[in-house]
Amino acid sequence: MWWMMGENGGHYCSKKSDDLCGTQESDRGFGISRLCCILRGVDLKSVLFLLVIMPMCVLGVYINALKISYFLRPLWESPPKPFHEIPHYHHENASMESLCKLHGWRTREYPRRVYDAVLFSTEVELLTIRWKELYPYVTQFVLLESNSTFTGLPKPLVFAGHRDEFKFIEPRLTYGSIGGRFKKGEKNPFYEEAYQRIALDQLLRIAGITDDDLLIMSDVDEIPSRHTINLLRWCDDIPQILHLRLKNYLYSFEFPVDDKSWRASVHRYQTGKTRYAHYRQSDVILADSGWHCSFCFRRISEFVFKMKAYSHYDRVRFAHYLNPKRVQRVICSGADLFDMIPEEYTFKDIIGKMGPIPHSYSAVHLPAYLLENAERYKFLLPGNCLRDEE
Is residue 379 within 8 A of residue 235, CB to CB? The reply is no
Task: Report d(CA 266, CA 138) in Å as an integer.
Answer: 13
pLDDT of residue 345: 81
pLDDT of residue 125: 97
262 or 55: whose pLDDT is higher? 262
Rg of the chain (C-alpha set): 31
Each residue of 9-40: b (16+ CB within 10 Å) or e? eeebbeeeeeebbbbeeeeeeeeebeeeeeee
Q: What is the DSSP string of 77-97?
A: -PPPPPPEEEP----TTS-HH
Task: Report d(CA 283, CA 243) in Å as an integer.
Answer: 8
Task: Tell me the sheet residues that pair with 106.
Answer: 236
Q: Assess whether pLDDT exceeds 90 at residue 111.
A: yes
In the three-class reduction of DSSP (H, G, I as helix; E, B as strand; rest coil), residue 141 is classed as strand
Is residue 320 within 8 A of residue 215, CB to CB? The reply is no
Q: Considering the chain, what is the average pLDDT of its residues?
A: 87
Q: What is the set of domains in the chain, with CATH numbers?
A: 84-296 (3.90.550)
In the three-class reduction of DSSP (H, G, I as helix; E, B as strand; rest coil), residue 27 is classed as helix
Work out the number of other CB atoms within 10 angstroms of the CB of residue 206.
10
Q: What is the pTM of this model?
A: 0.82
Q: Assess whether pLDDT exceeds 60 at residue 23.
A: no
Q: Quick one: what percent of the chain has pLDDT higher than 90?
A: 63
Could you give the residue ranges of the DSSP H alpha helices within 185-342? 189-207, 226-234, 300-309, 324-333
* Class of residue 122 by CB neighbours under 10 A (exposed 0-12, middle 13-18, buried 19+): buried
